[in-house]
Structures are given as structure tokens and as C-alpha cells.
Structure 1
Amino acid sequence: MSTARDSIEVAVPVAVAYEQLTHFENYPQFMSGVMSMAPIDASTAHMVLDIGGTRAEFDARITESRTDEFLCWEAMDGPQVIEALRLEPMAGDMTRVIAELQIDARELMPAEEHAVEVLNRRLKADLKGFKRFCEESATAGIGSTPTKEIKPSPANMPGAKPARGIAHASNERPAQPTPTGGNLGGHHTTERASRSRPVPPHQPL
């Protein structure tokens, strides 16, 4: 296995950089030599690469990830290709991306005498492409931090009044139906019941 390592600083928050890396469909935007990328599911895609003039086709899968910290993908079949990316937050909403690319160069580039040098140039170009893609997407409003799921609640349901409107009406109590018992006290309930019960006619002794 031949290994190339490099890093770059990207002017986006770490959450944005991580989000872009988790979507295989983004990879053709910044990875050199990607001929096609067809997502299969959330963590797998069919990838066709041109590596040093050699065509490599395989299913790639994200095998390990830690949110906003680390992501690793590798080829599940075909040639051995593994890329690990570590993200480090920096001041000013910057992110350092540290990448390590491992490829079976003897299989993919058997005639290339300087395989490691080729991989280093390729990885450097990929990181520069990733920086450009992230920063341009963020400028266009595409690379924003993903919105967290909001579970439905009465305040979020369609047609519900906003909290601001409810606060203005804090001194206005909506009309409530008369309680059927308990809330007014026992003697009130008995008195109301006695008034409403019909009085039987007087029976002579």
C-alpha cells in the first residue's frame, strides 16, 4: 500500500466541512479523477476513478465516522483504496482538514515509478478542490450547518398561535365550561344539584 498525507485550512465551520464530506454525491465537485459517482444509500456509493490513467471501479462505503471530527471511507471491492479525514476546529470558524490516502499502487499504477509522488499531488489537488467547494458553497448559502430535527409539539403545529400572541392575552381567560364536580368545592356542587333537582309534590299523611 502506498500512502499520501496532506492537510489544508478551510474557511468554514467544522460542522459544515463534515457535512460536505458525508455526502458522496459532492465528491465529483472536488476530487480529481472521479469519472462517476452513483449513491447507493446514505453511506455507500458506486465510484469510478481514473488513477494515473488506470480505471478503477468499486463500491465505496463510509466505514467509520465521528460527527464533526473524523470520517473514513474505503473501497469494499476491487482495488484497495482507503481515505481517512480528520477535522480540527480553528479560531474564526476555520477548519483544518488532515487527509491520509492509502492506495494499492502496484495494482492501480504498475508502470508508474513515482506512484507515491503521484498520490501526493493527487491528494493535494483534492484538498484544494475541497477548500474551494466548501467556501464557495458557504458563500452561496449551500454549506450551512444542517438544521436539527424539530419534533412536532403544540407550539409548532400548523395553525397554532405564536407564543408572543399568547403572552399579550395573559390577562384574558378563555371561557371555560362549568366543571362537573370537584373544582368548585363539595358544598357548591351539592347546592347546585339540589336547586336543579325537581321537588316532588307534597303527599298528605
Structure 2
Amino acid sequence: MTTTLTAEIDVDAPVDVVYNQWTQFESFPEFLGAVKEVRQIDDVRTHWTVSIAGKEEDFYADIVDQVPDSHVAWQSTDGTFHAGRVDFQPHGNETRVKLRMEWEPEGFIEKVGAALNIDDAQAQLDLQRFKKFIESRGAETGGWRGEVHGRQETSPDQ
């Protein structure tokens, strides 16, 4: 049974800065609690190591749709199914970040966590850490401005 989690937060930074930071996947362990490591394989493929309920897992995920300053969507390509999308919306001088993720809980602890909406609370906490991470720096650590549609990358120069 697939479960869906959602979270959103307003970040005190312009949309391009917030979006650029989100595209720096290798920095995710600094603010996403379950993420131990993310390696960027190429413009559309990433390798993740996560720890959920004390269980470490590795998987690959592909960016399936990405538009600068708008959204990033991904889907796992092996292991436990999960897919998600983050939308970035200018909101005055801030940026509203909206996360939606679907995943397949495995095992008793993950299923109970999903049933009790602990996943949503964790996602909200992760977004709060992302907000603190970017606001305390005052700038992004990098950024990728290309587009991806249907797992096909279009470079920013095309």
C-alpha cells in the first residue's frame, strides 16, 4: 500500500536561490534526517543511502521532470518504490516550498509510522531544517539550471 506525505514551508529567500539549493542533492544529508548520502551520477540519476527506522537502504532515483524556479520531480528506479515532487512558488519576498512524496512502507515500524502520519511530521521537520540551512547561509551552495522532461535532460544552453 502506497502512502503519501505532504509538507510545505515559506523560506526567506528568492525562488532562484531556494531552487538552486534544492538541486544540490549531495547537500541533502545536512537537512534531511533520514538521508545519509546522495551521489549525483549524472544530470538525471542519483544514488541514495537512507536510514529509516534503523534500517539502511540504498537505491537509485531519476529526475523525471525539472524546470528551474518551478519544480523538481523524481522516481526511484530500484528497491522500495518512492516518487515525489517539490514545487517552488514565489510568495512575496519569500519562496513557498511544497513537498509531496509517495512511497511504499515496508515492515511493521514503517507501516505504523505512515498510519500515524509520523512521515508528514518528519517531512515538515526536514523542510524546517532546509529553511534554516539556506537562510543561515544567505546564499545557495550551487545550482543546476537545466530542464528535465521524461528523464531527458535539456541543458541550460539549449
Q: Is the shorter-chain TM-score for this pair beyond 0.5, marking a shared fold? A: yes
1:12 pairs with 2:13? yes
Q: Look up the match of 1:58.
A: 59
**Alpha carbons of 1:146 and 1:51: their partners in 2 closer, same or farther (altered >3 Å)?**
closer
Q: Look up the match of 1:26.
A: 27
Q: Secondary structure at the match of 2:78?
A: coil
Q: Secondary structure at the match of 2:21?
A: helix
**Alpha carbons of 1:146 and 1:33: their partners in 2 closer, same or farther (altered >3 Å)?**
closer
Pairs within 5 Å for 1:116-131: 116=115, 117-131=117-131
Tell me the C-alpha RMSD between the 2 structures: 2.2
Distance in structure 2 (CA, Å) of the matches to 1:95 and 1:124: 15
Q: CA deviation at 1:146?
A: 7.9
Query: Does structure 1 conserve the Cα–Cα contact (< 8 Å) formed by 2:15 and 2:69?
Result: yes
TM-score by length of 2: 0.80
**Alpha carbons of 1:115 and 1:145: their partners in 2 closer, same or farther (altered >3 Å)?**
closer
Q: CA deviation at 1:46?
A: 1.0
Distance in structure 1 (CA, Å) of the matches to 2:67 and 2:86: 11
**Alpha carbons of 1:142 and 1:97: their partners in 2 closer, same or farther (altered >3 Å)?**
closer
Q: CA deviation at 1:42?
A: 2.4
Q: Which ranges of structure 2 fall in alignment gaps of 5 or more residues? A: 146-158
Q: Which ranges of structure 1 fall in alignment gaps of 5 or more residues? A: 148-205
Query: Does structure 1 conserve the Cα–Cα contact (< 8 Å) formed by 2:63 and 2:73?
Result: yes
1:64-85 deviation line (CA, Å, top 9, x unaligned): 1111011112211110111211
Letter in 2 for 1:17: V
Higher strand share: 2
**Alpha carbons of 1:100 and 1:146: their partners in 2 closer, same or farther (altered >3 Å)?**
closer
Return the structure number with greater relative CO, CA threshold 8 A, min gap 6. 2
Distance in structure 2 (CA, Å) of the matches to 1:5 and 1:17: 18
Letter in 2 for 1:45: T
**Alpha carbons of 1:144 and 1:58: their partners in 2 closer, same or farther (altered >3 Å)?**
closer
TM-score by length of 1: 0.63
Q: Secondary structure at the match of 2:49?
A: strand
Q: Look up the match of 1:82.
A: 83
**Alpha carbons of 1:145 and 1:59: their partners in 2 closer, same or farther (altered >3 Å)?**
closer
Q: CA deviation at 1:96?
A: 0.4
Query: Does structure 1 conserve the Cα–Cα contact (< 8 Å) formed by 2:48 and 2:60?
Result: yes
What's the % identity of the aligned pairs?
Answer: 27
